[in-house]
Structure 1
Amino acid sequence: MHGGGPAVVAGMPLDHAYLTENVGLVEAGCVNLARHIANTKSYGVNVVVAVNKFSTDAKSELNAVRNVALAAGAYDAVICTHHAHGGRGAVDLGIAVQKACENLTQPFKFLYPLDISIKDKIEAIARSYGASGVVYSKQAEKQIEMYSRQGFSGLPICMAKTQYSFSHNAAEKGAPSGFVLPIRDVRASIGAGFIYPLVGTMSTMPGLPTRPRFYEIDLDTTTGKVIGLS
């Protein structure tokens, strides 16, 4: 969840606020979770929230996340311990997902009719993020016009956007609203069947974690075996 607490910096110890019981801070961060639940439900699916339990989490904090999730409309919210216990720590989560799939009351639907324009689709998605509007670069305008002329405007949209915020600005945590979403470029994967706008400075190179796993891979010069692979 993207809340309003102290910054989390890769390679640095967590701030004390994240290591001690702080229900208020957890609840503040849950505004992000609540919007994700609302957005996902708009596609006609049941939402199950996995509340991952770590050693520093207090029971009151875990229950706060679960309560907010249910109040926001989640089908279920399950506290699970697969980080520590592997598969057996997520059995209840699996059962909840199965029940959610079995009890769907409507078919999956897109956020927008597929026969509306490319811009209308982009703007429907932007509104679900909390944006008040969208601004297009000249390049984006050119690409939209070209794809529309070529007959591809009926394709769905897959936004290429930072995962750290609902906005284009990774530093905007929580559930920001009223921002204008900048579309830098618009590209298409015709074979796969979708159009993908590039939001702000977002890159389309393969996603990597903050510390890629190759840092942990090495060669044991004594045995000749590669270590750090699983």
Structure 2
Amino acid sequence: MKTDIEISQNSELLPIGKIASQLSLGEQQIEPYGHYKAKVTLPVANQDTKGKLVLVTSINPTAAGEGKTTMAVGLGDALSELKYKTALALREPSLGPVMGMKGGATGGGYSQVIPMEDINLHFTGDFHALTEAHDTLSALIDNHIHHGNQLNIDPRQITWKRVLDINDRELRHTVIGLGGRTSGVPREDGFDITVASELMAILCLSRDIKDLKERISQILIGYTYDRKPVYVKDLGVQGALTLLLKDAIKPNLVQTIEHTPAYIHGGPFANIAHGCNSIIATRAGLNTADYTVTESGFGSDLGGEKFMDIVAPRLGKTPDVVVIVATIRALKLNGGAAKDELATEDLAALKKGAANLGRHIQAMQRYGKPVVVAINDFTSDTEAEINQLKQYVTDNFHIPSVTCYEWAQGGKGAIDLAKEVVKAADTPHEFKPLYSNHDSIEAKINQIVTNIYGGDGIELTSKAKKQLKQIVQNDWDQLPVCMAKTQYSLTDDASVHGAPTDFKIHIREFQVKLGAGFIVALTGNVLTMPGLPSHPAALNMDIKDNGEITGLF
């Protein structure tokens, strides 16, 4: 059996100009980066949206795998197979998961975006630009303090950390400025991963350069000694930071194995950020295709909810249909089956684990959106298991569920799903927001916990309560909430699977992201700088003398 990279390397690539022409993009609207990838100029993203939008999300991820990106790519290819003008709008991979254990973000099998090596490794340099812009701001803050500190910034209250696009637990907490008077002012600091940077969120939520610069100017960097907020605009460096992102703000265009155009742009994690690709790329898809297939990070409890409550208002459009991806294996794991027994038929575990899928269906239906369930096929799935799961979906939710074979068959393996998506997208529906921005921060979080997670309330630490008072005093409580929570559970405890009830979400602290336009609520022990596993994927990677890459999935 070929690996993902072998399938990618043996696939025919069309010149990027031919891919652009499928979307009626002219030569003046693309900037080629080599033969097979390009940047797309911004005017495309600023037109009125026209096409249908399909949001792909999933159940809670497990060690058994769900294949959400693979499903999104396969669905895009299937829609193209049905002769619909289709575009994908996906996130860029972070080197943290690529070199760690999660893998890349280009799909798998015969449902991939290519060239997968380029996309997974540096791509067009967007993440490097974001990292440099972020750390340039860090350097400018410390330089300001070193040269007299005219803004009276309290070094103990700087909220702007540094970033790096790799998992490095050693950098979570650091001390900087050591080495004497010429080396700056000593203070505690730390690093987040680049995908958790507020600049990443800002890039993905900005409409154009002007909007990008305005949002950067609003970034809260810390407080003065008398506890007054200090913003980037007070330093006067928003222009310098924006120019470092002048190319990164342009969406990237590539293709699938079956030559469906794919906009890939931005990559915030959904467990510590808002987890969706840029609205510029999504709007580009909506303006150039009949159907745009996008995905949100992890399960519907994270990326799905954030797409509806944070992204959709900025995008100016809500999804026409939501696809929830599930696997028999993952649901059996949710139902208590052992990982080494997932290939054995277990109807009892599947029946219990199906409740996790049910919770995600309810969460997305809460927004008034049509929902279709995509069952990602594994060879170990039995006919009895598939029939039982489909019957569960029909009996409890009266929505379609479709078995898909996109990993092995590409777009042809998702034709039935594409037909159900087209049908559902034409169904009359009305979007129902989960909360109003005028609700209190606690009320917003309670709405998310009760309606999306299935919990019964929240608990705040004394630190979070103190921060909440400060948020209210500064009139920041009108912003939406971005929940930072483990992806592996509907609770804030990664070890709790299935569809638990009678639990509370524990808010340990808040982070104010004024440029991004939301308040982050950190729950449980979620980390903004992950660590590498005991056997990182990097150990399997190599490059031959002729430049051929091996071991990259």
Taking structure 1 as the reference length, the TM-score comes to: 0.85
Deviation beyond 4 Å, 4+ runs, structure 1:
206-213
Query: Could you say if the C-alpha distance between residues 216 and 157 of structure 1 is closer, same or farther in structure 2, counting changes exceeding 3 Å?
Result: same
Which residue of 2 is the match for residue 201 of structure 1? 525
Match in the other structure for 2:468: 144
1:4 alignment partner, one of 318, 322, 335: 335
In the comparison of the two structures, how many residue pairs are matched?
Answer: 221
2-structure distance, mates of 1:24, 1:210: 34
For the 8 Å contact 1:23–1:61, the answer to whether it is kept is yes
Give the residue type in structure 1 aligned to 2:336: G
| Aligned residue identity for 1:140 | A
Q: 1:101 to 1:154 in 2, by over 3 A?
A: farther
Map 1:205-220 to 2 at 5 A. 205=529, 213-220=537-544
For 1:79-118, what aligned pairs fall within 5 Å after superposition? 79-107=403-431, 109-118=432-441
Which one has a bigger Cα radius of gyration?
A: 2
CA distance in 1, matches of 2:514, 2:338: 39
Q: Aligned in 2, Cα 1:104/1:207: closer, same or farther, shift over 3 Å? A: farther
Q: Provide the rounded CA distance (Å) in 2 between the counterparts of 1:111 and 1:74.
A: 22
Letter in 2 for 1:99: K
Aligned residue for 1:72, secondary structure, equals helix
Summarize deviations over 1:75-119 as a string: whole Å, max 9, x none. 321110112112221122122222222214212x32122211001
5+ residue gaps, structure 2, are: 1-330
Partner of 2:306: none
State whether structure 2 residue 484 is matched by structure 1 residue 160.
yes
Instruction: For residue 68 of structure 1, report the CA deviation from its aligned partner.
Output: 1.6
Following TM superposition, by how much is the alpha carbon of 1:211 offset from its aligned partner in structure 2, in angstroms?
Answer: 7.3
Residue 181 of structure 1 is matched in structure 2 by: 505
What secondary structure does 2:433 align onto? coil
Q: How far apart, in 2, do the equivalents of 1:82 and 1:130 lie?
A: 31
Instruction: Tell me the distance in 2 between the aligned counterparts of 1:134 and 1:179.
Output: 9
Residue 38 (structure 1) aligned with residue 362 (structure 2): yes
Q: Residue 152 of structure 1: CA displacement?
A: 2.2
Amino acid in the other structure paired with 1:180? K
1:49 partnered with 2:373: yes
Could you say what secondary structure the match of 2:483 adopts?
A: coil
**Which one of the candidate residues 482, 488, 496 is aligned to 1:172?**
496
2 CA distance for matches of 1:105 and 1:178?
31
How far off is 1:46 after superposition? 1.2
Q: Which moved more, 1:200-209 or 1:147-156?
A: 200-209
> Which residue identity does 1:101 align to in structure 2?
A
Q: Give the 3 Å change call, closer, same or farther, for CA 77–212 of structure 1 in structure 2.
A: farther
* Kept in 1: contact 2:335–2:351 (CA 8 A): no
The offset of 1:198, in angstroms, is: 0.9
Q: Which has the higher strand share?
A: 2
Residue 334 of structure 2 aligns to which amino acid in structure 1? Answer: G
Q: Please name the residue that 2:395 is paired with.
A: 71
Show the counterpart of 2:152: none
Task: Return the alpha-carbon distance in structure 2 between the equivalents of residues 67 and 168 of structure 1.
Answer: 30
Deviation, structure 1 residue 203:
1.5
Q: Quote the RMSD (CA, aligned, Å).
A: 2.5
Single out whichever of 55-64 and 18-27 deviates more from structure 2.
Answer: 18-27
Counterpart CA distance in 1 for 2:424 and 2:512 is 33
5+ residue gaps in structure 1? Answer: 9-13
Q: TM-score, normalised by structure 2?
A: 0.37
Instruction: Give, in whole Å, the separation in 1 of the partners of 2:538 and 2:395.
Output: 41
Give the partner amino acid of 1:136.
L
Tell me if structure 1 keeps the 8 A contact 2:359–2:454: no
Distance in 1 between residues matched to 2:370 and 2:539, nearest whole Å: 38
Contact 1:38/1:72 (8 A) holds in 2: no
CA contact (8 A) 1:184 1:200 kept: yes
Per the alignment, do residues 178 and 43 of structure 1 end up closer, same or farther by CA in structure 2, a change over 3 Å counting?
Answer: same
Seq. identity, %: 38
The answer (yes or no) to whether the contact 1:219–1:225 under 8 Å persists in 2 is: yes
Deviates more, 1:119-128 or 1:209-218: 209-218
Instruction: Give distance in 2, aligned partners of 1:210 and 1:31.
Output: 32
**Higher RCO structure (Cα 8 Å, ≥6 apart):** 2
Cα distance change on mapping 1:211 and 1:146 into 2, 3 Å:
farther
Instruction: Work out the CA distance in 2 between the residues paired with 1:210 and 1:124.
Output: 38
C-alpha contact (below 8 Å) 1:37/1:72 kept by paired residues: no
Q: Quick one: distance in 1 between partners of 2:491 and 2:534?
A: 20
- Aligned partners of 2:472 and 2:498: how far apart in 1? 35
Aligned partners of 1:209 and 1:69: how far apart in 2?
A: 36
